[in-house]
Amino acid sequence: MTKIRIALVVVLLWSMVLTSFASAQTQRAWTNAPGIERKVEALLKQMTLEEKIGQLNQYSYGTPTGPGTGRSKVEESIQRGELGSFLNVVDPALSNRLQRIAMEQSRLKIPLIFGLDVIHGYRTTFPVPLALSATWDANLVERVSRIAAEEATSSGIRWTFSPMVDIARDPRWGRIVEGAGEDPYLGSIMARAYVRGYQGTSLNDPRSLAACAKHYVAYGAAEAGRDYNTVDMSERQLREVYLQPFHAAVDEGVATLMASFNTINGMPASANAFTLTQVLRGEWGFRGFVVSDWGSVGELIPHGIANDLSTAARKGFLAGVDMDMESNAYFQHLAAFVKSGQVPPSALDEAVRRILRVKFALGLFDRPYVDEKNAVTTLPAANVAAARAAAEKSFVLLKNDSGVLPLQKGVRSVALIGPMADSAPDMLGAWSARGDAKDVVTLKAALEARSKRDGFQLHYAKGTEIRSTSDAGFAEAAAAAAQADVVLLALGEDASWMTGEAASRAFIDLPGNQQQLLERVAAAGKPTALVLFSGRPLALTSAAARVQAIIEAWSPGVQAGPALERVLFGEAAPSGRLTVTFPRSLGQVPIYHSVLNTGRPPVGLDLTRPPTNGNEKFKSRYVDEQNVPLYPFGFGLTYTTFDYSATQVDAQQVSVDQLNAGRAQVRITAEVKNTGTRAGEEVVQLYIGLRGTSVARPIRQLKGFRRVTLEPGKSQRVEFTIGRDELSIWQRDTKYAVEPAELTIWIAPNAQSGTPATVMLK
Ligand code: BGC
């Protein structure tokens, strides 16, 4: 090694030490501050059993789950210290009124904490999280969540039930829209970005929200994609994939976690001592608190591990769920268990400590009220601009034959067809907090304005409803297409019914008769671009066969129209990349990129050949479908093209011992060139594969990525460095290690391409 290289490695290692120190510091900043600990202990000493249990109790305001008959008694509950938190209070005046009862009329004056699902914006609605992940831009995600925090805190909310960091590999699952897709590496980076954005540099900042990583854990692996369904998986899969983004969030200092609805290997996640106590507290040292999901303590009864609510309370609590959202189980039953000794008083103290720690860290004792005058009620212009920029970056161009997009500046007539073209509520997407459809600029509105400016004709026809079977509007749609130079088809999913919670689909095609509408319109023979609004990958094979271009727009938020219009006309280029695999057909589901090879991979090991060859009968494949997806993970086109050189590594062989000691790394480079005629952004991705290891490894795993911007004709050498963290394999318990192996590395534009390089780990 040359001196320069040694120096570089030293600098790199030192910066790694500093980075981990910095993130540990962020976590310590609120979890370990001695001042806070002293206050927590002093308060704890004064609390009665009932007051302690009160802190573990959360109600949704207006939902009559509360003690006694519900709503009308909530004020008394606060007075008596029987309530620690509300969700769904969004009116700052109400929040102050309730808080005043806690601060002025309750014995110990412990402030309430108000939580809400602030998922992708508060008043200003940004693209849905799956779309935000498609930006592959952690800084952008951090900015978006900071804006959401600033808006939400202005209404008295200091806690968001976000980020959802569930890995999701089954597009039938409606909640795939709420997360960052299928990959644990990308998911971890996004998890950290959300936590940084919400929590800021200090939780004590009145504009910071406590974040909540949810749903802990493996909720996204619900069997058959049916929401709330069973999950059964190996500990390896749990640790190497599903736990990863949670671990990242904890490492970044997330204040809270939410326990999920599902079972994991037979044990409900909301009563799971292994995940909630052994892993989360024991192994990771998490010092914040865990809230149940809505009623998930009570759901231990239908799960079959409790025959009554009191048993449910005991099991949920002893496993490590500190706060009971909406089951009212702790409130009714915990005291008796503590008195009888079935729940140790020390366990109760510990749960209360965790909750008080977060309340003190948020500064709620010093500043319990919100300034009602400053509540964000209208959309700040800067936030609207940020929403547009985020949307532009999240669109994924899936197909663009003969350069249909961007539309020509001199185009004379455009047909805009489809039920999504002017559907404001669907632009907001699932969980839009205080988003208001009235603030949305739809694609139709944006194109109308543009047509006046640019002087082209716009022929609009709705064609059909989102979930309709009537073809009454088809003729009008076909006529609009016939009159136009180019056709934009705005199709997709009903965001509130088909995406988000309890929105699993058994079919993942275009809903209703939209495919038939597409075929009818395409028959006009005009260049046609499909603008797709969906909260999940759809099976687009038949649609893709009939249109020249497809742009996946997800649920883009309030600025749907302006963002799309700018991208469609080329003022901005689509630069999103898929964070979830798009199948060719439903039968391939679940489908994701980091699969094992199997003992019988189709010939060529590459899973890219259709099953046409008779010799491939006894291979791991379908007889009636290809193995490969329609659009792979990481994929996305833009208005220019990029070329990748072969991947290069700086060594043929690296010592496993040195890697494990953190003293060696592998440096990998490739040259990326903009071969088109306009500037463009590329998401350069790094994948690794390991062979010859003690257990079978995925053919490819994402281990790095970088966004690069290149002028036409220009190239850039993109460099990655990987070491122990990227190469380690889970051994057992808390142990990870690098093993001797043949390491294959690809620097590539997506999970299905690239020219690899090989390094022996010895
Ligand atoms: C959802 C959570 C959400 C909670 C509170 C539940 O139904 O699963 O994601 O945070 O409700 O609204």
Q: Give the model confidence (pLDDT) of 513-560 as tens digits.
A: 999 999 999 999 999 999 999 999 999 999 999 999 999 999 999 999
Identify the band that residue 27 occupies on the pLDDT scale cut at 50, 70 and 90.
low
φ, ψ dihedrals at 76, nearest 5°: -65, -40
In single-letter form, the type of residue at position 713 comes to: G
Q: For the CA atoms of 360, 361, 364, 367, what is the dihedral angle to 10 degrees?
A: 120
- Burial degree of 717 (CB within 10 A; 0-12, 13-18, 19+): exposed
In 3-state terms, what secondary structure has residue 253?
Answer: coil
Q: What is the whole-number distance in angstroms between the Cα of residue 496 and the centre of ligand 1?
A: 15
Distance CA 494, CA 164 (A): 21
User: Mean pLDDT over residues 25-51, rounded?
Assistant: 84
Q: How many CB atoms lie within 10 A of CB 762?
A: 11
pLDDT of residue 605: 42
Per-residue pLDDT of 553-583, as tens digits, reads 999 999 999 999 999 999 999 999 999 999 9
Ligand 1 contact via 214 beta carbon (within 6 Å):
yes
Where in the sequence numbering do the catalytic residues fall? 293
| Residue spans of alpha helices (H) in 535-634 | 541-544, 560-568
In 3-state terms, what secondary structure has residue 511?
Answer: coil
Contact yes or no for 639/711 (Cβ under 8 A): no
Q: Which residue CA neighbors atom 5 of ligand 1 most closely?
A: 294
Q: Going by C-beta distance under 8 Å and a sequence separation of 6 or more, which residues neighbour residue 748?
A: 634, 644, 647, 685, 687, 754
φ, ψ dihedrals at 363, nearest 5°: 75, 20
pLDDT of residue 616: 75
pLDDT of residue 721: 98
In 3-state terms, what secondary structure has residue 738?
Answer: coil
Identify the band that residue 62 occupies on the pLDDT scale cut at 50, 70 and 90.
confident
Identify the band that residue 21 occupies on the pLDDT scale cut at 50, 70 and 90.
very low
pLDDT of residue 66: 47
Q: How many CB atoms lie within 10 A of CB 757?
A: 20
Is the pLDDT confidence value at 153 over 50? yes
pLDDT of residue 287: 95
User: Mean pLDDT over residues 1-21, rounded?
Assistant: 39
In 3-state terms, what secondary structure has residue 437?
Answer: helix
Q: What is the mean pLDDT of the chain?
A: 93
Ligand 1 binding pocket mutation candidate from 258, 294, 431, 504 (most atoms within 8 A of CB): 294
Ligand 1 closest atom vs CA 261? 8
CA 90 from chain centre, in angstroms, equals 23
Q: What is the whole-number distance in angstroms between the Cα of residue 120 and the centre of ligand 1?
A: 14
pLDDT of residue 615: 67
pLDDT of residue 612: 55
Comparing CA positions, the residue from 148, 139, 216, 149 lying closest to residue 179 is 216
In 3-state terms, what secondary structure has residue 689?
Answer: strand
pLDDT of residue 20: 40
User: Mean pLDDT over residues 73-77, rounded?
Assistant: 88
pLDDT of residue 8: 38
Distance CA 666, CA 686 (A): 12
Identify the band that residue 23 occupies on the pLDDT scale cut at 50, 70 and 90.
very low
Q: Which residue CA neighbors atom 7 of ligand 1 most closely?
A: 294
Comparing CA positions, the residue from 181, 166, 276, 164 lying closest to residue 220 is 166
* Neighbouring C-alpha atoms within 13 Å toward the C-beta of 689: 21
Q: Going by C-beta distance under 8 Å and a sequence separation of 6 or more, which residues neighbour residue 705?
A: 136, 186, 683, 684, 685, 686
Q: What is the whole-number distance in angstroms between the Cα of residue 423 and the centre of ligand 1?
A: 25
Dig out the tokens for 281 from the structure.
Answer: 């507290």
- 9-18, 328-337, 485-494: segment of lowest average pLDDT: 9-18
Q: How many CB atoms lie within 10 A of CB 472?
A: 10
Dig out the tokens for 208 from the structure.
Answer: 């910071």
Q: Going by C-beta distance under 8 Å and a sequence separation of 6 or more, which residues neighbour residue 119?
A: 128, 129, 160, 161, 162, 164, 178, 430, 431, 432, 433
pLDDT of residue 33: 75
Per-residue pLDDT of 337-366, as tens digits, reads 999 999 999 999 999 999 999 999 999 999
Identify the band that residue 19 occupies on the pLDDT scale cut at 50, 70 and 90.
very low
Is the pLDDT confidence value at 317 over 60? yes
pLDDT of residue 608: 47
Dig out the tokens for 734 from the structure.
Answer: 């808390």
User: Mean pLDDT over residues 292-301, rounded?
Assistant: 97
Contact yes or no for 416/446 (Cβ under 8 A): no
Handedness of CA 692, 698, 704, 710 (dihedral sign): positive
Identify the band that residue 475 occupies on the pLDDT scale cut at 50, 70 and 90.
very high
703: enclosing H helix or E strand: strand 701-710
Contact yes or no for 319/293 (Cβ under 8 A): no
In single-letter form, the type of residue at position 696 comes to: A
* Neighbouring C-alpha atoms within 13 Å toward the C-beta of 67: 18
Contact yes or no for 15/665 (Cβ under 8 A): no
Q: pTM of the full predicted structure?
A: 0.95
Ligand 1 closest atom vs CA 178? 9
- Percent of the chain beyond pLDDT 90? 90
Contact yes or no for 561/442 (Cβ under 8 A): yes
pLDDT of residue 132: 98
pLDDT of residue 65: 55
Distance CA 483, CA 280 (A): 61
Dig out the tokens for 509 from the structure.
Answer: 């095609």
pLDDT of residue 34: 78
Is the pLDDT confidence value at 32 over 80? no
- Percent of the chain beyond pLDDT 70? 93
pLDDT of residue 601: 87
pLDDT of residue 267: 98
Ligand 1 contact via 75 beta carbon (within 6 Å):
no
Q: Going by C-beta distance under 8 Å and a sequence separation of 6 or more, which residues neighbour residue 302?
A: none
User: Mean pLDDT over residues 633-656, rounded?
Assistant: 97
Identify the band that residue 4 occupies on the pLDDT scale cut at 50, 70 and 90.
very low
378 sits in the region (left: phi over 0; alpha: psi -120 to 50; else beta) called beta
- 41-50, 72-81, 397-406, 735-744: segment of lowest average pLDDT: 72-81
Q: What is the whole-number distance in angstroms between the Cα of residue 293 and the centre of ligand 1?
A: 6
Strand partners, 715: 673
Is the pLDDT confidence value at 126 over 80? yes
φ, ψ dihedrals at 299, nearest 5°: -70, -5
pLDDT of residue 72: 56
pLDDT of residue 64: 55
In 3-state terms, what secondary structure has residue 687?
Answer: strand
pLDDT of residue 561: 98
Q: Which residue CA neighbors atom 2 of ligand 1 most closely?
A: 293
Comparing CA positions, the residue from 606, 634, 654 lying closest to residue 701 is 634
Q: What is the whole-number distance in angstroms between the Cα of residue 115 and the centre of ligand 1?
A: 11
Q: Which residue CA neighbors atom 4 of ligand 1 most closely?
A: 294
Ligand 1 binding pocket mutation candidate from 88, 117, 118 (most atoms within 8 A of CB): 117
Ligand 1 binding pocket mutation candidate from 291, 501, 504 (most atoms within 8 A of CB): 501
Ligand 1 closest atom vs CA 260? 8
| Residue spans of alpha helices (H) in 414-530 | 424-428, 443-454, 474-483, 495-498, 514-522
Dig out the tokens for 737 from the structure.
Answer: 């290690």
Q: What is the whole-number distance in angstroms between the Cα of residue 240 and the centre of ligand 1?
A: 25
pLDDT of residue 29: 62
